[in-house]
Amino acid sequence: MLLRSIAILLLSSAFVSSAWSAETLEAIPDLTGIWGRGMAFFEPPESGPGPLINLVRKSDGALVPADPCCAIPREWRGDWTSPILKPNAAEAVKKFAERSLRGEVTSDMHSNCFAEPPAFAMSVQFALNILQGKNEVILVYLLHNTVRHIRLNASHPATLRPTWQGDSVGRFEGNTLVVDTIGIKADPPSTVDSFGTPHTEALHVVERFRLIDGQIAAETHKKYGARQFQIGGYGMGLTDEDVTKKGLQVEFTVEDAGVFTTPWSGQVTCRHRLPDPDIGHWPETICAENPQFLGSDLSVPHADTPDF
């Protein structure tokens, strides 16, 4: 059912794209495709305040992965001393790190199968399927196959009810898709990143999607420790190592005066993914929460007496 729905979205995207004028098609880049990155966390910006970093490092400063195949660290300890954090946020990050250090499972959007908001989704998702149409761009994230809709050339509604993913509107500025997102629900376990950094409903995220030189994308992956997954790893095939193909870079800026001392920026770099020979073009990766355990900081809902 899910794969059939994605196929319909692809056909719809192709249909609306065919209605564009030749001039419009030439000006707007085609971001459509399956993109991946074999690493977690954010890349720092070229300058200015950046995201939290993981304090768990090797002697050479590189991340410590869980095993040779994967780019997932054993511990998630964000730098709670970062100057971008206000005291309440620093305390939350510190508590999150202490739980990780004790080996406890920490509750977040990813582990509890919630629809993940920006910027959090970019820090944990290893693959992204972009479906580009005339009036919207659809993002399908690998784990959970979560679908995110970005309305093009639209405005945020005057009255906005917060949701887990927030309300995203986009526009093309030259060769860049600029996406503005507000209205992100601030209840736990929603966080800005993988280190438990909280946010308020004032959270404002602006993303800039653009195609970049394939060689630069490959060098960026190497610089930040991206790993080539084995066939079938995390439901995806291998990274396409052809550097003549463009890469995808998403730069983003985060603002939330209730949590951060200043706006800060980061980025993620993706490359094309090859289809898995066993699974196919895009896999179904279903997330099912544990009915007995939601993490060390959330309790399982229960009723002392029956409702009927």
Residue pair 137/152 in contact (Cβ under 8 Å)? The answer is yes
Six token digits for residue 63: 């991340």
Q: Which of 45, 19, 79 is nearest to 250 (CA)?
A: 45
Q: Give residues with Cβ within 8 angstroms of 68, minimum separation 6.
A: none
Q: Give residues with Cβ within 8 angstroms of 86, minimum separation 6.
A: 258, 259, 260, 261
Q: Give residues with Cβ within 8 angstroms of 22, minimum separation 6.
A: none
**Alpha carbon distance 107, 198 (integer Å):** 12
Annotated domain spans of the chain: 2-272
Residue pair 130/211 in contact (Cβ under 8 Å)? The answer is no
pLDDT at 25: 54
The one-digit pLDDT tens for each residue of the chain (308 residues) are 454 455 544 444 443 444 444 455 567 999 999 998 877 789 999 999 999 988 876 555 555 544 444 445 556 789 999 999 999 999 999 999 888 888 776 778 887 788 899 999 998 888 899 999 999 999 999 888 899 999 999 999 999 999 999 999 999 999 999 999 999 999 888 999 989 999 999 999 999 999 999 999 999 988 887 766 554 455 556 889 999 999 999 999 999 999 999 999 999 999 998 876 666 677 777 777 655 555 545 555 667 887 76
